[in-house]
């Protein structure tokens, strides 16, 4: 949606930002260069048009899909084409085939689950990510993106009021975040007991206990399964009526096994934030690692009104 009548081109010419008028963008040759209109560019233009149509129509459309499984399988199950298809046709066909089968999660009338919604600058930057086709895992393969990752991590720590010394990693979602953070916990807790899981694996390692509330998101147990800790390692303690973990109950159960305490910052149904100060005290008594699931609620820290809910979360560093 080019509704600003101008787009700031981040490509800096002699240190200045170049401002492109909207009409320039709609003139095909001005953006791509004379005679450089290739099939690939046509496909991109088709995608842009379809994307804008989709976004413009979001609020008027019904939220759930209107087309069922059988119909969708028929549309997509045509097998591979014998002949090549023009790129822009591929895009048009794709759009036709998904018609009625999309969930309108970007709509302002969509309130289910915790998904959907994006800022227009983020969406546009996401397109550039595909066009740039970088491998920013290491600096050598994409210096600019490696530094961008560094910078955005710092911004996030700033806006979420996380300690400056915190490390960060971008993952695909909270499930992957659990796996990543609990892998670090596993490494540290077993390492403290003289067992290097990186070289020895889990064989012969002391059993880790994951203590959490009964309202804990199921992805924590899944992460335990993926990490070889097993779902039996997860002990679900009762929660109070307001959804907070009953830390008295946890305290009575603590023992000297390597322990991970999983807390919630914004439980999915109740919005509960656990008592981070008290949890930190308990964890320190037994050298436990504390992991906070902030899938939804971490953003409270960005709000003057709700920041207090996160009090104590900054204490959730690694023990030792
Ligand atoms: C509290 C909580 N934790 C974890 C998850 C899992 O997140 P994801 O779907 O990004 O893996 C969710 C998803 O809604 C959640 O609400």
Residue 2 has pLDDT above 90, yes or no: no
Give the integer Cα–Cα distance in Å for 301 and 304. Answer: 8
Which atom belonging to ligand 1 lies closest to the Cα atom of 176?
A: 11
Q: Mean per-residue pLDDT for 79-91?
A: 93
- Helix (H) / strand (E) containing 263: strand 259-264
Instruction: Say how far residue 22 (Cα) sits from the centre of its chain.
Output: 32
Question: If you take atom 10 of ligand 1, which residue's CA is the nearest one?
Answer: 173
Assess if residue 32 is contained within a domain. no
Which residues lie with the beta carbon below 6 Å from any ligand 1 atom? 114, 173-175, 217, 219, 268, 293, 295-296
Q: How far is ligand 1, taken at its centre, from the CA of residue 219, in Å?
A: 7
Residue 221 lies in a domain: yes
Number of structural domains, the chain? 1
Atom of ligand 1 nearest to the CA of 175: 11
Give the global pTM: 0.84
Question: Ligand 1 pocket check: which of 291, 296, 298, 300 to mutate, most ligand atoms within 8 Å of Cβ?
Answer: 296
Going by C-beta distance under 8 Å and a sequence separation of 6 or more, which residues neighbour residue 218? none
Residue 306 maps to a domain:
yes
CA of 225 to the centre of ligand 1 (A): 16
CA of 309 to the centre of ligand 1 (A): 19
Distance 222 CA to ligand 1 centre (A): 12
In a domain? residue 38: no
Residue 115 Cα: closest atom of ligand 1: 14
Per-residue pLDDT at 116? 83
Residue 187 lies in a domain: yes
**Residue-wise pLDDT tens digits, 247-296:** 999 999 999 999 999 999 999 999 999 999 999 999 999 999 999 999 98
Average pLDDT over residues 204-222: 97
CA nearest neighbour of 49 among 28, 35, 33: 28
Give pLDDT, residue 40. 67
47 domain residue, yes or no: no
- Cα 33 to middle of ligand 1, angstroms: 45
Residue 78: inside a domain: no
d(CA 272, CA 275): 10
> What's the rounded mean pLDDT across residues 30-42?
57
Q: 265 CA distance to ligand 1 centroid (A)?
A: 12
Residues 101-117 pLDDT 10s: 999 999 999 988 878 88
Instruction: Assess if residue 258 is contained within a domain.
Output: yes
CATH number of the domain within which 266 lies: 3.40.640.10
Residues with Cβ within 8 Å of residue 291, at least 6 apart in sequence:
178, 181, 182, 185, 260, 261, 262, 263, 316
Say what the pLDDT of residue 313 is.
86
Task: Report residue 318's pLDDT band, with 50, 70 and 90 as the boundaries.
Answer: very low
Ligand 1 centroid – CA 183 distance (Å): 18
Ligand 1 atom, smallest distance to 297 CA: 1
Q: Please give the residue range of the domain that contains residue 301.
A: 174-315
């Amino acid at each position: 949606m080019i509704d600003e009548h101008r787009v700031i081109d981040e490509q800096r010419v002699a240190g200045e930002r170049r401002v492109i008028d909207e009409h320039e963008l709609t003139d095909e040759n001005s953006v791509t260069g004379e005679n450089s209109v290739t099939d690939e560019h046509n496909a991109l233009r088709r995608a842009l048009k379809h994307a804008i149509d989709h976004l413009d129509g979001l609020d008027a459309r019904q939220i759930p899909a209107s087309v069922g499984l059988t119909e969708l399988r028929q549309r997509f199950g045509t097998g591979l084409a014998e002949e090549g298809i023009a790129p822009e046709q591929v895009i048009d066909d794709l759009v036709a085939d998904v018609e009625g089968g999309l969930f309108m999660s970007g709509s302002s009338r969509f309130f289910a689950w915790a998904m959907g919604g994006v800022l227009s600058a983020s969406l546009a930057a996401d397109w550039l990510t595909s066009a740039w086709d970088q491998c920013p895992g290491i600096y050598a393969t994409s210096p600019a993106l490696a530094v961008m990752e560094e910078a955005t991590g710092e911004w996030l720590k700033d806006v979420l009021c996380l300690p400056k010394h915190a490390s960060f990693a971008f993952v695909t979602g909270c499930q992957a975040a659990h796996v990543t953070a609990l892998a670090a916990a596993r490494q540290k807790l077993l390492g403290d007991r003289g067992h290097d899981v990186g070289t020895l694996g889990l064989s012969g390692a002391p059993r880790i206990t994951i203590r959490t509330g009964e309202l804990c998101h199921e992805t924590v147990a899944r992460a335990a399964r993926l990490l070889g800790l097993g779902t039996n390692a997860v002990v679900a303690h009762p929660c109070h009526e307001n959804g907070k973990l009953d830390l008295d109950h946890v305290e009575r159960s603590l023992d000297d096994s390597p322990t991970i305490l999983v807390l919630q910052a914004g439980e999915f149904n109740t919005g509960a934030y656990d008592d981070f100060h008290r949890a930190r005290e308990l964890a320190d008594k037994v050298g436990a690692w504390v992991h906070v699931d902030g899938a939804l609620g971490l953003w409270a820290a960005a709000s003057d009104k709700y920041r207090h809910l996160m009090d104590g979360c900054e204490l959730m560093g690694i023990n030792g």
